[in-house]
Structure 1
């Protein structure tokens, strides 16, 4: 989880630890979503390595949760009303790529 936290913070360009607990919750939710979407048992990624495309989906989704935690669309695409939909489409596409792959 610490490695994922570090990668999510790099993605968000965060240089502080003040939101680590909040980010960890978002990472847990994103991993849970990935497991559910890929029809893996709960806790699968606690026991098994995560494929790089699945990891990227988790990083993107965690970042999206953080940037839009107030219910709005935040971040780089804040001025695009379709930004949230675009994030979910990319995340789901990345998760589909490795739905049946076990490393």
Structure 2
């Protein structure tokens, strides 16, 4: 079974290990965002399995952070000025599928 790091690297088509520490930090940040957005306790996904839609959102968001780490919109959609907004829209919709609603 692939780890999240391996899945993010596959998504980025990244074959070297030089950025593994950076990627782990970005995965941690994306996972924390998912927990917050889904109204789950901090560290929830360290103790529980991640739903496939949440995992995809974390992979996409981690990849987006990596490709846009200089503050620009990087990667495949670099020529599209709305690419960053589109990534966030898709990520948030994926996270909504497994969201806890607390009042």
CA distance in 1, matches of 2:39, 2:94: 14
1:98 Cα offset (Å): 1.0
How many residues matched?
Answer: 99
What SS is found at the alignment partner of 1:76?
helix
| Residue 52 (structure 1) aligns with | 52
**Runs (4+) off by over 6 Å:** none
Using structure 1 for the length normalisation, give the TM-score. 0.94
| Counterpart check, 1:96 vs 2:101 | no
CA distance in 1, matches of 2:6, 2:16: 11
| Residue 73 (structure 2) aligns with | 73
| Residue 13 (structure 1) aligns with | 13
CA distance in 1, matches of 2:96, 2:19: 30
Using structure 2 for the length normalisation, give the TM-score. 0.94
- Mark the runs of 5 or more structure 2 residues left unpaired by the alignment: none
1:71 Cα offset (Å): 0.5
